[in-house]
Chain A
Amino acid sequence: MSTRKYSRDHEWVLPEGENRAKVGITEHAAKALGDIVFVELPQEGDSVNAGDALAVVESVKAASDVFTPVSGKVVAVNDSLENAPEQINQTPMEAWLAVIEISDAGELDALLDEEGYRAFCEQED
Chain B
Amino acid sequence: MSTIFEKSHTGVMGVSLPACDVPETAIDALIPDALLRDAPPDLPEVSEPEAIRHFTGLSRLNYGVDTGFYPLGSCTMKYNPKINEDMARLPGFASLHPLQDVSQTRGMMKLMVALDEMLCAVTGMDRFTMQPAAGAHGELTGMMIMKAYHESRGETARTKVLVPDSAHGTNPSSAALCGYDVVTIPSDSRGNMDIEKLKAHTDDHTAGLMLTNPNTLGLFDENICEVADIVHRAGGLLYYDGANLNAIMGISRPADMGFDIMHLNLHKTFSTPHGGGGPGAGPVGVRRDLTSYLPGPLPVKNGETYGWETPEKSIGRIHSFHGNIGVAIRAYAYILSMGAAGLTQASETAVLNANYVMQKLKGIYPPAYDRPCMHECVLSAKRQKEQGASALDIAKGLLDCGFHPPTVYFPLIVKEAMMIEPTETESKETLDRFIEAMRELAEKAETDPEWFHDAPRTTPVGRADEVAAARNPVLRWKG
Question: Which residues of A are in contact with B by a Cβ distance under 8 Å?
Answer: 35, 37-38, 58-61, 85-86
Contacts and interface: CB of A to CB of B under 8 A. Distances in A.
15 contacts: A35-B467, A37-B467, A37-B470, A37-B471, A38-B470, A38-B471, A58-B470, A59-B467, A60-B466, A60-B467, A60-B469, A60-B470, A61-B409, A85-B471, A86-B471
A40 to B, nearest CB: 13
A85 B470 CA distance: 11
Interface of B is mostly: helix
Contacts of A38: 470-471
Residue of B409, B467, B469 with highest tally of chain A CB at under 10 A? B467
Nearest to B469: A60
Interface string B435-479: 000000000000000000000000000000011011100000000
Q: 4 closest A-B pairs (Cβ-Cβ)?
A: A37-B470, A35-B467, A60-B466, A37-B471
Given A35-B467, A37-B470, A60-B466, 12 more contacts: A37-B467, A37-B471, A38-B470, A38-B471, A58-B470, A59-B467, A60-B467, A60-B469, A60-B470, A61-B409, A85-B471, A86-B471
Contacts of B469: 60
Nearest to A37: B470
Interface of A is mostly: loop
B176 to A, nearest CB: 14
Nearest to A85: B471
Contacts of B409: 61
Nearest to B467: A35
B385 to A, nearest CB: 15
B386 to A, nearest CB: 14
A85 B466 CA distance: 15
A108 B449 CA distance: 45
Interface string B156-193: 00000000000000000000000000000000000000
Nearest to B392: A61
Nearest to A84: B471
Contacts of B470: 37-38, 58, 60
Interface string B206-244: 000000000000000000000000000000000000000
A48 B283 CA distance: 42
A24 to B, nearest CB: 19
Nearest to A60: B466
B470 to A, nearest CB: 4
A40 B467 CA distance: 16
Nearest to B466: A60
Nearest to A58: B470
B112 to A, nearest CB: 40
Nearest to B409: A61
Contacts of A85: 471
Contacts of A35: 467
A58 B466 CA distance: 12
Interface in B386-442: 409
A59 B470 CA distance: 8
Residue of A37, A38, A61, A86 with highest tally of chain B CB at under 10 A? A37
B172 to A, nearest CB: 14
A74 B466 CA distance: 32
A116 B424 CA distance: 55
A124 to B, nearest CB: 16
Contacts of A59: 467
Contacts of A58: 470
Interface string B356-371: 0000000000000000
Contacts of B471: 37-38, 85-86
Interface string B267-305: 000000000000000000000000000000000000000
